[in-house]
Amino acid sequence: MPTDLSADGIRAFHLVQVSGQNCPDPVASFDQTPFSKSVQGQLKSAGFKHPTAIQSQGWPVVCAGRDCIAVAKTGSGKTVAYLLPAIMHIQKINSMNNSMTPSVLILAPTRELAIQIEVEARKFTQTGVRAVCVYGGVPKGPQVDKRNIPPIIYY
Protein backbone atom coordinates (compact mmCIF):
# COMPACT_ATOMS: atom_id res chain seq x y z
CA MET A 1 0.00 0.00 0.00
CA PRO A 2 1.35 3.44 -0.87
CA THR A 3 2.10 5.48 2.27
CA ASP A 4 1.76 8.87 0.60
CA LEU A 5 -2.01 8.71 0.01
CA SER A 6 -4.45 11.24 1.47
CA ALA A 7 -7.01 10.11 4.05
CA ASP A 8 -9.61 9.72 1.30
CA GLY A 9 -7.05 7.87 -0.82
CA ILE A 10 -6.32 5.39 2.00
CA ARG A 11 -10.04 4.81 2.52
CA ALA A 12 -10.57 4.29 -1.21
CA PHE A 13 -7.60 1.91 -1.40
CA HIS A 14 -9.07 -0.21 1.42
CA LEU A 15 -12.72 0.26 0.33
CA VAL A 16 -13.49 1.69 3.80
CA GLN A 17 -16.61 3.73 4.44
CA VAL A 18 -16.91 5.91 7.53
CA SER A 19 -19.80 7.81 9.05
CA GLY A 20 -20.03 10.31 11.85
CA GLN A 21 -18.51 13.71 12.37
CA ASN A 22 -14.82 14.59 12.37
CA CYS A 23 -13.65 11.02 11.87
CA PRO A 24 -9.89 10.73 12.46
CA ASP A 25 -7.76 10.11 9.40
CA PRO A 26 -6.66 6.52 8.76
CA VAL A 27 -3.01 5.46 8.98
CA ALA A 28 -1.03 3.94 6.13
CA SER A 29 1.85 2.46 8.16
CA PHE A 30 2.69 1.29 11.67
CA ASP A 31 4.96 4.31 12.09
CA GLN A 32 1.87 6.55 11.89
CA THR A 33 0.19 4.79 14.83
CA PRO A 34 0.39 6.00 18.44
CA PHE A 35 1.72 2.61 19.54
CA SER A 36 5.08 2.27 21.26
CA LYS A 37 8.09 1.03 19.33
CA SER A 38 7.86 -2.27 21.24
CA VAL A 39 4.26 -2.79 20.06
CA GLN A 40 5.21 -1.82 16.52
CA GLY A 41 8.06 -4.34 16.70
CA GLN A 42 5.66 -7.03 17.89
CA LEU A 43 3.40 -6.31 14.91
CA LYS A 44 6.28 -6.83 12.54
CA SER A 45 7.40 -9.97 14.42
CA ALA A 46 3.84 -11.33 14.16
CA GLY A 47 4.13 -11.08 10.38
CA PHE A 48 2.14 -7.91 9.72
CA LYS A 49 3.57 -5.81 6.88
CA HIS A 50 1.18 -2.85 7.14
CA PRO A 51 -2.17 -2.10 8.81
CA THR A 52 -5.15 -3.93 7.37
CA ALA A 53 -8.19 -1.92 6.28
CA ILE A 54 -9.93 -2.23 9.66
CA GLN A 55 -6.74 -1.45 11.56
CA SER A 56 -5.91 1.51 9.33
CA GLN A 57 -9.16 3.29 10.15
CA GLY A 58 -10.05 1.65 13.47
CA TRP A 59 -6.89 2.47 15.41
CA PRO A 60 -7.10 6.25 14.96
CA VAL A 61 -10.78 6.22 15.91
CA VAL A 62 -10.38 4.10 19.04
CA CYS A 63 -7.14 5.78 20.12
CA ALA A 64 -8.92 9.14 19.89
CA GLY A 65 -11.39 7.85 22.47
CA ARG A 66 -14.21 7.52 19.96
CA ASP A 67 -16.65 4.66 19.60
CA CYS A 68 -16.10 2.34 16.66
CA ILE A 69 -18.38 -0.25 15.14
CA ALA A 70 -16.60 -2.10 12.37
CA VAL A 71 -17.64 -4.95 10.14
CA ALA A 72 -15.03 -7.02 8.34
CA LYS A 73 -14.44 -10.54 7.09
CA THR A 74 -12.70 -13.31 9.01
CA GLY A 75 -8.94 -12.88 8.86
CA SER A 76 -9.12 -9.11 8.33
CA GLY A 77 -7.28 -8.16 11.52
CA LYS A 78 -10.25 -7.24 13.73
CA THR A 79 -8.83 -8.83 16.86
CA VAL A 80 -5.52 -6.96 16.63
CA ALA A 81 -7.49 -3.82 15.76
CA TYR A 82 -9.03 -3.75 19.23
CA LEU A 83 -6.23 -5.50 21.16
CA LEU A 84 -3.53 -2.92 20.45
CA PRO A 85 -5.48 0.09 21.77
CA ALA A 86 -6.24 -2.04 24.84
CA ILE A 87 -2.53 -2.82 25.25
CA MET A 88 -1.69 0.87 24.89
CA HIS A 89 -4.27 1.63 27.61
CA ILE A 90 -2.79 -1.04 29.89
CA GLN A 91 0.74 0.26 29.40
CA LYS A 92 -0.42 3.78 30.25
CA ILE A 93 -2.22 2.65 33.40
CA ASN A 94 0.72 0.52 34.54
CA SER A 95 3.21 3.34 34.00
CA MET A 96 1.07 5.70 36.10
CA ASN A 97 0.42 3.52 39.12
CA ASN A 98 2.41 0.29 38.66
CA SER A 99 -0.86 -1.62 38.86
CA MET A 100 -0.88 -5.37 38.46
CA THR A 101 -4.66 -5.75 38.52
CA PRO A 102 -6.86 -6.64 35.53
CA SER A 103 -7.27 -3.58 33.31
CA VAL A 104 -9.21 -4.84 30.30
CA LEU A 105 -12.07 -7.29 29.95
CA ILE A 106 -12.90 -8.77 26.57
CA LEU A 107 -16.10 -10.80 26.34
CA ALA A 108 -16.51 -13.39 23.62
CA PRO A 109 -19.72 -15.28 22.79
CA THR A 110 -18.04 -18.69 22.43
CA ARG A 111 -15.20 -20.60 24.04
CA GLU A 112 -13.57 -21.09 20.64
CA LEU A 113 -13.53 -17.37 19.92
CA ALA A 114 -12.21 -16.60 23.42
CA ILE A 115 -9.33 -19.01 22.85
CA GLN A 116 -8.59 -17.48 19.43
CA ILE A 117 -8.46 -14.02 21.03
CA GLU A 118 -6.06 -15.31 23.68
CA VAL A 119 -3.77 -16.73 20.99
CA GLU A 120 -3.63 -13.32 19.29
CA ALA A 121 -3.13 -11.46 22.59
CA ARG A 122 -0.23 -13.69 23.57
CA LYS A 123 1.65 -12.55 20.45
CA PHE A 124 1.97 -9.19 22.22
CA THR A 125 2.98 -10.35 25.70
CA GLN A 126 6.54 -9.10 25.17
CA THR A 127 5.07 -5.62 25.58
CA GLY A 128 4.66 -6.34 29.31
CA VAL A 129 0.99 -7.23 29.05
CA ARG A 130 -0.25 -10.59 30.23
CA ALA A 131 -3.36 -12.34 28.95
CA VAL A 132 -5.47 -15.18 30.27
CA CYS A 133 -8.57 -16.83 28.88
CA VAL A 134 -11.23 -17.92 31.37
CA TYR A 135 -14.42 -19.55 30.12
CA GLY A 136 -17.38 -21.34 31.59
CA GLY A 137 -18.08 -25.02 31.87
CA VAL A 138 -14.82 -25.94 33.59
CA PRO A 139 -13.17 -24.84 36.86
CA LYS A 140 -11.39 -21.50 36.52
CA GLY A 141 -8.52 -22.44 38.86
CA PRO A 142 -6.59 -24.53 36.32
CA GLN A 143 -7.28 -21.89 33.66
CA VAL A 144 -5.61 -19.14 35.67
CA ASP A 145 -2.12 -20.29 36.61
CA LYS A 146 -1.56 -18.90 40.11
CA ARG A 147 2.23 -19.23 39.76
CA ASN A 148 2.40 -16.49 37.13
CA ILE A 149 2.19 -12.76 37.63
CA PRO A 150 -1.47 -11.71 37.80
CA PRO A 151 -2.97 -11.48 34.32
CA ILE A 152 -4.01 -8.15 32.90
CA ILE A 153 -6.45 -9.08 30.13
CA TYR A 154 -9.32 -11.42 30.99
CA TYR A 155 -11.64 -13.00 28.42
* Residue 76 contacts residue 54 (beta carbons within 8 Å): yes
65: buried, middle or exposed (CB in 10 Å: 19+, 13-18, 0-12)? Answer: exposed
Average pLDDT over residues 52-66: 93
Instruction: Give me the pLDDT at residue 135, please.
Output: 84
50: buried, middle or exposed (CB in 10 Å: 19+, 13-18, 0-12)? Answer: middle
Instruction: Give me the pLDDT at residue 145, please.
Output: 63
Check pLDDT > 50 for residue 111: yes
Instruction: Give me the pLDDT at residue 121, please.
Output: 87
Instruction: Give me the pLDDT at residue 101, please.
Output: 67
Name the pTM for this structure: 0.79
Residue 22 Cα to chain centre, angstroms: 22
User: What's the CA gap between 147 and 35, in Å, rounded?
Assistant: 30
Instruction: Give me the pLDDT at residue 3, please.
Output: 66
- Going along the chain from its start, the domains and CATH numbers come out as 7-154 (3.40.50.300)
Instruction: Give me the pLDDT at residue 58, please.
Output: 94
Backbone phi, then psi, for 44, in 5-degree steps? -65, -40
114: left (phi over 0), alpha (psi -120 to 50) or beta: alpha
